[in-house]
Structure 1
Amino acid sequence: MDNEYVRIKALNGKALGSDEFRKEFGIEYAYVVGGMYKAITSAEMIAVLSRRGILAFLGSGGLRHEAVSQEISSIREKISDGVFGVNIIHTPKNTEAEEKLIDLMLDNEIRFIEAAAFISVTPSLVKYKIKGLTRNEHGDVVSRNRIMVKISRSEAAEVFMRPIPDSIISELLCRGAITASEADLAAGIPLADAVTVETDSGGHTDGGVAYAVFPSVMYLRDRIMKEYNYRSKIYIGAAGGIGDPDAASAAFMMGADYIMTGSVNQCTAEAGTSDIVKDMLSIATVHDTDYAPSADMFEMNSRSQVLKRGTLYCVRAKKIYELYNRYDSLESIDSQTRDMLEKRMFHDSLENVFAESARYYPMSVIQRAEKEPKLKMFIVFKSYFHRSSKAALNGDEKDISNFQINCGPAMGAFNSFVKGTRLENWRDRHADEIAVLIMEKAAEKMNEFFRERFIAG
């Protein structure tokens, strides 16, 4: 017992999680930083994390193709041989843009992508996975390009853990997107190398409970791996609500191969958002977030978790959803409500908002909107979500009441954890130091847990 006690007591942050995961992904800590919208997970943040042996994903959501390319170049200038990846958000209404982004990943030899908001296996993801497949000396298929899928439901996880559909492999082969050799190697392997189980978190989430959802996905992984006799392990990570060492240690105790953080990283010196947003986040508590309609499918009440303290975005986004369902056109909205929309939310006439928004849609859609009042209203209302996000990122203080700041309760947990220390000031917070601090303190928590039980025994 004494020898075993010494071994457990020696646990440190680098020993948490899966050794295999760290080795295969070329990192020192089983700690991953997820991609955040419009490069909030910035090139600078990725660089400091990579230097500490931590994998981080560039937030490509909301960025134009050229901007993503520039960010990748900027990262490579800072860390020529460092490990990093790019977050890819599913765009079901624009598969061409999604495939173009995947091609950019292949052209730039990006070896890790974080696939978010995907509910099914798509040809673009399969192409990324298949390109460059080889066999090692043992005859096992080896992936050069690795996919970490972020999901919040077990049924979504299942489709990525089962073998890649033959129909998609055949389609890619017929298109000449892959070779016959690559198609042969792809038979019987899963798309996902790792699955991140995202529970109650900032941004899009089903608000799941980690202690229920995570184990169910882990059990599912074990059954599928046994069913198909996979030679390589599919790693399972935990995300959502992880902002302090206690949450991190709980995730590892549940069996997580790695953890992923998000919210806490946007309140750091390296985060690609405004100082005023960081000021607001640095005083948030675990009770200062709420769910609001989001830009993606807002008409169907698609929701994301946001900061509610210091901004009226949550209330106003819900109002947008209510008005969209109540009225059939902009003209049918009563004058008092229209006045509120124009003066407090859009700061412009609704007609001008539509004219400005038209620049971002194909001419065919705008021509339809001129004839279909409901579509025109949709385009105008949808622009509120983009305007509110832009105002926050730019730090437009006069529009603070409309700031959209995606954030989960992990932010408040971290603020509580560092209260009274130098890290209470966000200007002293650095993403790599936060990562190491959470991991090392989590290891201490686990050492204490085991020590107490050994003593009690």
Structure 2
Amino acid sequence: MHPTTLGLTHAQGAPALAPSGVEVAEALAEIRKPVAVVASALGPVPVVVGDGGLAEIAGEELLALLPPVYPEWLGERSFTAAHGVRFPYVVGEMARGIATPQMAIAAVRAGGMGFYGSAGLDLDTVEAGVREIQNALGPDAPGWGANLIHNVQDDRREMATVELFLRMGVRCVSASAFMQLTPAVVLYAAKGLYRGGDGQIVRSGRIFAKVSRDEIARHFLLPAPEQMLRALVAEGRLTAAEAALAAEVPIAEDITAEADSGGHTDNRALTVLLPRLIALRDEISEQYGYSVLPRVGAAGGIGTPAAVAAAFAAGAAYVLTGSVNQSALESGLSEDGRNLLALAQATDVATAPAADMFEMGVTVQVLKRGTMFAQRGQRLTDFYRKYPSFDAAPADEVASLEKTVLRRSIPEIWAETKEFFATRDPREVVRAEADPHHLMALVFRWYLFSGAQWAREGDTDRRGDYQIWCGPAMGGFNDWVKGSFLEPVGARTTGQIALNLLEGAATVTRAGHLRTAGVQLPPGAFDFRPRPLG
């Protein structure tokens, strides 16, 4: 519609409120075309620029010219170029196989990145998962990786996992829950470094560091510590040339600012954390003169187009989604667990003790609705802090725990736990038999560990003990998809979730551009509704 005809659709004598309706709707829908904002009697009016270009608005007063908004362009172009993907979008590495190989494959095929949730799985299962991805996408396909989680009990597991990744040619690793650098991380970052013909240092493997604190981010933004590099060279794991090059580049070129996420979280506000990490990146990069500027992405609380658009507007190079993908068909979570997630509201989350860091008091964010895991986990924490051993606790309290939380006797649980650690890490058994408080911790860790397993298996008899990692984003996502084709759990796929979040973010961004140009927007202009995309 030509701007000079605007307003003729209003009833005779009706007040000229704003160029609502067709003009604004078209400007919002045509995100891949430029939009001219011109002056009219009704105020600034958006006009989609067609093949005729600006000649279409000849003679009109041009107030603003808005470029196309492509979902591919929302973040840093260097991200998509470095990782060989279409979109600056990452499907995160939900541990213990929640992010399955099929989920990583689906993410790549949708144009994003996908990380296999290999943390917490035995090495044979990890290897099988990596081979599944390689067989589906090709051995050298870009855009996927696997998870390396910090193991506070046994750093040998980290090293064995990294050695597996290097042997199998895993090109990207997402390092999560780290509180300090470890030799395994440094080895992966430095192994295979060489200087290309243009003089630039080329990486064989790339690390995504998921962090929520400045001090941890700093470790990953700095070059590898000289002492660790020397030790790895002495062990024959690195060459002297690789170590020398590692001293010139940061450990990670992709830093994910993890805000209010499911699982391990510090419940940080993204609008505070992200700018701070970007500023820290700039400070360190200037200090060390990096030729490649590390990218800072955003994770945690991202479950709607508005949240995605906000993260990019705040400077995120890419976004990473987690909780919302757990309800996808490719998720490793059981159908029963996915149905519970689909009912979640933003407030249906709570913190519970983390199985891997129970003694340290570390917590994870989990689903509260439909399960008692958070409350029961807190009972275990209180008991552990109150009593030095099971023998020191009143017999009725021990019996209550066995009946209402553990639902098995403590001797039975310890026998099973002892058998597990006898092959995995016998040092834990020796320590527990000498320290009854540590034995208690291992028994309680059995429950915390099993809660995630029951949720994955869909053991409905233990539904009240499901541990489902979940952040507030899940509730926002459920509200957004209500009434759309994505509301039924059976219709939620990793690809459709990704494409709709990105298309919606581009539409929300366009709405922001129009508002900044002075166009009065109708209600719902920032509300992109899910639709099948391909």
TM-score by length of 1: 0.96
- Candidates 448, 459, 463, aligned match of 1:400: 463
Counterpart residue identity of residue 222, structure 2: R
1:7 CA displacement: 6.7
1:154 is aligned to 2:214: yes
1:428 CA displacement: 0.1
Aligned-partner SS, 1:39: coil
Alpha-carbon deviations, 1:46-68, whole Å to 9, x = none?
A: 11111122111111122001110
1:345 is aligned to 2:397: no
Q: Contact 1:161–1:190 (CA<8 Å) still a contact in 2?
A: yes
Instruction: Specify the alignment match of 1:71 in structure 2.
Output: 129
Structure 1, gaps ≥5 residues long: none
1:177 CA displacement: 1.1
Alpha-carbon deviations, 1:176-204, whole Å to 9, x = none?
A: 11112222222221101110000111001
Q: Contact 1:12–1:444 (CA<8 Å) still a contact in 2?
A: no
- Candidates 358, 377, 384, aligned match of 2:440: 377
Moved more, 75-84 or 388-397: 75-84
Counterpart residue identity of residue 274, structure 1: S
Counterpart residue identity of residue 238, structure 1: A
Q: Contact 1:32–1:261 (CA<8 Å) still a contact in 2?
A: yes
Distance in 2 of aligned mates of 1:359 and 1:373: 17
Distance in 1 of aligned mates of 2:431 and 2:171: 41
Give structure 1 regions of 4+ aligned residues with deviation exceeding 3 angstroms. Answer: 1-9, 362-365
Q: Count how many residue pairs are aligned between Structure 1 and Structure 2.
A: 457
Distance in 2 of aligned mates of 1:338 and 1:5: 74
Distance in 2 of aligned mates of 1:32 and 1:197: 13
Distance in 1 of aligned mates of 2:457 and 2:492: 20
Q: Contact 2:262–2:364 (CA<8 Å) still a contact in 1?
A: yes
1:223 CA displacement: 1.0
- Candidates 129, 135, 146, aligned match of 2:189: 129
Instruction: Specify the alignment match of 2:338 in structure 1.
Output: 278
Tell me: higher relative CO, structure 1 or 2? Use CA pairs within 8 A at least 6 residues apart. Answer: 1
Distance in 2 of aligned mates of 1:372 and 1:150: 34
1:130 CA displacement: 1.6
Aligned-partner SS, 1:311: coil
Distance in 1 of aligned mates of 2:210 and 2:337: 26
Distance in 2 of aligned mates of 1:252 and 1:7: 21
Alpha-carbon deviations, 1:269-291, whole Å to 9, x = none?
A: 11011000000000100010011
Distance in 2 of aligned mates of 1:203 and 1:287: 15
Give the RMSD, CA atoms, in angstroms: 1.7
Aligned-partner SS, 2:274: helix
1:8 CA displacement: 3.6
Larger Rg: 2
- Candidates 262, 278, 292, aligned match of 1:202: 262
Distance in 1 of aligned mates of 2:234 and 2:409: 51
Distance in 2 of aligned mates of 1:365 and 1:295: 15
Instruction: Specify the alignment match of 1:46 in structure 2.
Output: 104
Q: How does 1:51-450 map to 2 (within 5 A)?
A: 51-80=109-138, 81-82=140-141, 83-361=143-421, 362-450=425-513
1:137 CA displacement: 2.8
1:147 CA displacement: 0.6
Q: Contact 2:285–2:293 (CA<8 Å) still a contact in 1?
A: yes
Aligned-partner SS, 1:260: strand
Distance in 1 of aligned mates of 2:351 and 2:233: 43
Distance in 2 of aligned mates of 1:452 and 1:222: 31
Aligned-partner SS, 1:423: coil
Q: Contact 2:323–2:474 (CA<8 Å) still a contact in 1?
A: yes
1:364 CA displacement: 4.5
Counterpart residue identity of residue 447, structure 1: R
1:9 CA displacement: 4.7
Moved more, 374-383 or 334-343: 334-343
Q: Contact 1:5–1:451 (CA<8 Å) still a contact in 2?
A: no
Structure 2, gaps ≥5 residues long: 1-35, 38-53, 55-61, 521-534
Distance in 1 of aligned mates of 2:175 and 2:108: 20
Distance in 1 of aligned mates of 2:295 and 2:509: 21
- The verdict on how the C-alpha distance between 1:292 and 1:7 changes in structure 2, with shifts beyond 3 A counting, is farther
Instruction: Specify the alignment match of 2:27 in structure 1.
Output: none
Q: Contact 2:358–2:441 (CA<8 Å) still a contact in 1?
A: no
Aligned-partner SS, 2:450: helix
Alpha-carbon deviations, 1:147-202, whole Å to 9, x = none?
A: 11000011110111112212222111111111122222222211011100001110
Aligned-partner SS, 1:292: strand
Distance in 2 of aligned mates of 1:373 and 1:11: 61
Distance in 2 of aligned mates of 1:126 and 1:374: 34
Counterpart residue identity of residue 252, structure 1: F
Distance in 1 of aligned mates of 2:235 and 2:297: 34
1:374 CA displacement: 1.4
- The verdict on how the C-alpha distance between 1:109 and 1:336 changes in structure 2, with shifts beyond 3 A counting, is same
Counterpart residue identity of residue 75, structure 2: G
Distance in 2 of aligned mates of 1:156 and 1:242: 22
TM-score by length of 2: 0.83
Distance in 2 of aligned mates of 1:50 and 1:24: 14
Distance in 1 of aligned mates of 2:317 and 2:478: 26
Aligned-partner SS, 2:127: helix
Distance in 2 of aligned mates of 1:244 and 1:330: 46
Instruction: Specify the alignment match of 2:26 in structure 1.
Output: none
Distance in 1 of aligned mates of 2:199 and 2:279: 28
- The verdict on how the C-alpha distance between 1:319 and 1:84 changes in structure 2, with shifts beyond 3 A counting, is same
Distance in 2 of aligned mates of 1:230 and 1:153: 22
Distance in 1 of aligned mates of 2:195 and 2:228: 21
Q: Contact 2:151–2:356 (CA<8 Å) still a contact in 1?
A: no
Instruction: Specify the alignment match of 2:87 in structure 1.
Output: 29
